[in-house]
Structure 1
Amino acid sequence: MKISIKAVFKNISIFLMFFTFVSLSAMLFTFEQTNSYIKTDILKDQKDIINSLRMIDKKDVELALIQYNGKSTDLQYQVNKLRELYEYDITGNYILGNSQEYLSDLDKLSSAIDDFNTKAYTYYKSSKKNVEQTKTELDKSHIVLENRINSLLFKNMEYDSQKFSFMIQITIATFVIVLLLSIWYYTRLKKIYNDIAYLQSPSKSKKDYEICTIEADAISIRMKKKPDVKDNPSNIDPITKINNHKGLITEYGEKKNFKENNFTSVTVLEVDNFSKTNRAFNQEFSQAALKKIAYTISLFEQATDVIGRTDYNQFTVILSRETKDKAYKDMEAIREAISELKFVTQTKVPVQITVSGGFFIKPNNVVLANAMEEAKKILRFAQQGEKNRIAQKRDMEGVHI
């Protein structure tokens, strides 16, 4: 089955979008890891701050309180900063689902900091009589707070380990997908390149080369010249130099899969002025008329069309068009062009040669021979009325031939 270049490049654009999304995800993960390092540094800074709060000299109470106020405020500020950083933790919030646990730990840390700040303030304001008791309470509060910070540090490491494990799985899966897609696209792009190379220099390519893409096949068909009698004279009508019945069937077999979404019309045209049984003109005139008619039909022929002389005064025209209406209009144009041809007999008498036709839209499940028979039935209906017209199947509704 031939591939579509348009579909390949459409899929490549989707692949590039996917690759961009993966790259963006990797960038966000890197940003998350940076934030994780910042969170670890903040927790370490908090340990240093609480240790320094315990070491403030009480000899100058006012100076001690100023230092205490600055350091205690900084502790709460650091907690708020941890909350803000976690808002950007997409993996933790939406994939691992540990947001409630982490935020709960931050609340506990904030409470422990408040308790430690209170005990520290009481210690620095206490008199000499109560200094031992307040110092003991401060030490206990310090131990609780330090344990909270250590717990967060360990959990932060655990979260990072989970993220890393998750990202390893995603990275492996992404690598496999990208590798398979790259191989898949490489094979198709190679086929496209080979087709283009063949079209560029067909004479240098192998004669048995099989085109792999729909678009290249279309170009190849357009590039092909008309069949030469010398190539296969059994397929060519010797008078008109177009396909005979055998050549029509053969060429249609080569082109029928091209533009599968198009409608295929089969029209049988018959000359109104003469036939096998009605030899109204001599042989020379009749053959000259057939040649002109064949040439006129060929002027309307497109790359996907097939024409042929299939009987003494009959021509079969197979069109491939986007719509049924366009196919019918093109057949009408052919009929009108034939009717406008100028003919003169040997006795200098002008003659108007006309054709009648049976137009039939061929369904995909109907073979060409049956479609031609249907077109001939419609042709016979067209010949019952006025000549020089193209009849369709819908014109025969209610009429039995």
Structure 2
Amino acid sequence: MKHSIKKIFRNLSFFLLALVIFAGLALLSVFNQLNSYKKIDNLNNQKEIVSSLSNLSKDNLELMFIELNGKSKQLHIEIEKLRTLYDYNFAEKYILSNSKEYLSDLDKLSSLATAFNKEAYNYFYYEKDKNATATKEELEKKSSSLKGQIDSIIFKDITYSQRKFNIHKNATILVFIITLFGFIWYKKRLDMIYKDLQFLFHVNHKKHTIFSQEVGAISVRMNRKPLVTENPILLDPVTGINNLKGLMSAYIEKKGMKEDNFTSVSVLEIDNFSKTNKVYSQELTQAILKKIAFTISLHEQVADVIARTDYNQFTIILSRPKKEDSFKEMENIRKSISELKLSSAELGEINITVSGGYVIKPNNISLEESIRQAKKVLLHAQNSGKNKISQIKDLAHSEL
């Protein structure tokens, strides 16, 4: 069974997209881990603040109260920072689902901090008051409770980090296995596609089993039909470009090369140049035809087809992304032909012009029918003064 290159590359795109998503999740995990480090630093900083509040120097009372007020407020600020950090800790919120437990611990920490700050204020402010109830022992007790809660949160964070690490470890192993499998899988298929291309270019002369559907179709087409340039039956003997049979054959071969493009069909006829009105000698006639054919071929692209389909007519099939591009190309061809410089001893300088009929070929209309429509439009161009390219809309306007 042959495989589709289009399907392989589509699946490869999805595979690479999945790797990008996994890489994004890994990056998010790094930021979550960074938040955990910030949380530990924050909690250790709170412990230092509690210790410093418990041991304020009493040498300068004014400075002592400034430190007491500042560090008491800083303690609550640090707790609020923990809440903010948790808002961005997606792993714990959505994977571990510990929001209720963690926020409850922060609420308890905030209450203990408030109680400690109050005890510290009472102890230092009322120290000289004989009726004061705050004692150093009670302050140390409140400090111990607050530090205990901080240690409890740190211990739980270690537990959370261990659980996150296990999840991250398993996910990393899984992603590595998938990536390794995908690398081997797609490398094998890309190697086979490359061998198919080598076969088409005859680089590999050994017997080859075609892997892909597209290369198989190309190979069948190449073996079924000789190239136009190699078959004299399909060539115009005077100009060397396609004749009518060659036009049909080349069109079929190139039909699927650019499916999304617009296909235009144009028929050009040399003005005042017919079998019944032989103004020029045979040698000059052939020179004119060759010049025109060569000029048209200069505008030919890979998916285009050009042919001499009658004594003084050329049929041109263009494939372009936009309709306007095709018509503009035909206008350029007409102008290039009108600028040709030809002369003879008998007639002197000869001015060659062409008139053309231009149509866009719908997918549901045959090439033969499109050529017939183009010839009908060609008559309008000739009746309108010649040396011009007419479209169907020009014909429609003239019939109104």
Indicate the TM-score class for this superposition, using the shorter chain for normalisation: 0.5 to 0.7
Shift of 1:337: 3.7
CA 1:285–1:77: 2 relative to 1, 3 Å: closer
TM-score, normalization by structure 2: 0.64
Identity of paired residues, percent?
36
Distance 1:295 1:78 in 2: 88
CA 1:286–1:322: 2 relative to 1, 3 Å: same
Shift of 1:300: 2.8
**Residue in structure 2 matched with residue 264 of structure 1 by the alignment:** 263
Shift of 1:294: 1.7
Cα contact 2:228–2:234 (8 A) shared by 1: no
The amino acid of 1:91's aligned partner reads Y
Residues 244-301 of structure 1: per-residue CA shift (max 9 Å, x gap): 2232233333444445554432111123434466666665554444333322322332
**Residue in structure 2 matched with residue 327 of structure 1 by the alignment:** 326
User: Is residue 111 from structure 1 mapped to residue 119 from structure 2 by the alignment?
Assistant: no
Cα contact 2:242–2:306 (8 A) shared by 1: yes
Shift of 1:359: 0.9
User: Is residue 36 from structure 1 mapped to residue 33 from structure 2 by the alignment?
Assistant: no
**Residue in structure 1 matched with residue 235 of structure 2 by the alignment:** 236
Structure 1 range deviating more: 266-275 or 183-192: 183-192
CA RMSD of aligned residues (A): 5.6
Residues 90-118 of structure 1: per-residue CA shift (max 9 Å, x gap): 53389725685454233212123135436
Write the mapping of 1:142-161 to structure 2, written as runs, cut at 5 A: 145=146, 148-149=149-150, 151-153=152-154, 155-157=156-158, 160=161
Distance 1:46 1:167 in 2: 34
**Residue in structure 1 matched with residue 387 of structure 2 by the alignment:** 388
Distance 1:266 1:26 in 2: 59
**Residue in structure 2 matched with residue 245 of structure 1 by the alignment:** 244
Distance 2:90 2:287 in 1: 85
The amino acid of 1:117's aligned partner reads A
Structure 1 range deviating more: 151-160 or 68-77: 68-77
**Residue in structure 1 matched with residue 312 of structure 2 by the alignment:** 313
Cα contact 1:192–1:212 (8 A) shared by 2: no
Shift of 1:178: 7.1
Residues 33-92 of structure 1: per-residue CA shift (max 9 Å, x gap): 322332454566689x49x96xx9xxxx979x99x9889986775554344355344533
CA 1:71–1:289: 2 relative to 1, 3 Å: closer
Distance 2:358 2:347 in 1: 32
Cα contact 1:355–1:387 (8 A) shared by 2: yes
Distance 1:331 1:104 in 2: 79
Structure 1 SS opposite 2:89: helix
Shift of 1:140: 6.6
Cα contact 1:109–1:149 (8 A) shared by 2: no
Structure 2 residue runs of 5 or longer lacking an equivalent are 94-98, 219-226
Distance 2:89 2:268 in 1: 75
Write the mapping of 1:175-190 to structure 2, written as runs, cut at 5 A: none
Distance 1:265 1:105 in 2: 79
Cα contact 1:242–1:294 (8 A) shared by 2: yes
Cα contact 1:262–1:322 (8 A) shared by 2: yes
Distance 1:179 1:368 in 2: 50
Return the match for 2:81 from 81, 84, 92. Answer: 84
CA 1:283–1:142: 2 relative to 1, 3 Å: closer
Residues 5-55 of structure 1: per-residue CA shift (max 9 Å, x gap): xx9xx99999998688556534423322322332454566689x49x96xx
CA 1:101–1:353: 2 relative to 1, 3 Å: same
Shift of 1:356: 2.3
CA 1:122–1:152: 2 relative to 1, 3 Å: farther
Structure 1 residue runs of 5 or longer lacking an equivalent are 218-226
Task: Count the aligned residue pairs.
Answer: 368
**Residue in structure 1 matched with residue 221 of structure 2 by the alignment:** none
TM-score, normalization by structure 1: 0.64
Residues 319-366 of structure 1: per-residue CA shift (max 9 Å, x gap): 234544443333233334434452549xx3456554321111233454
Cα contact 1:112–1:141 (8 A) shared by 2: yes
Distance 1:244 1:71 in 2: 101
CA 1:181–1:45: 2 relative to 1, 3 Å: farther
Structure 2 SS opposite 1:397: helix
**Residue in structure 2 matched with residue 222 of structure 1 by the alignment:** none
Distance 1:203 1:157 in 2: 64
Structure 2 SS opposite 1:388: coil
Cα contact 2:43–2:150 (8 A) shared by 1: no
Cα contact 2:79–2:106 (8 A) shared by 1: no
Distance 2:359 2:332 in 1: 16
Distance 2:122 2:155 in 1: 26
The amino acid of 1:397's aligned partner reads A
Structure 2 SS opposite 1:363: coil
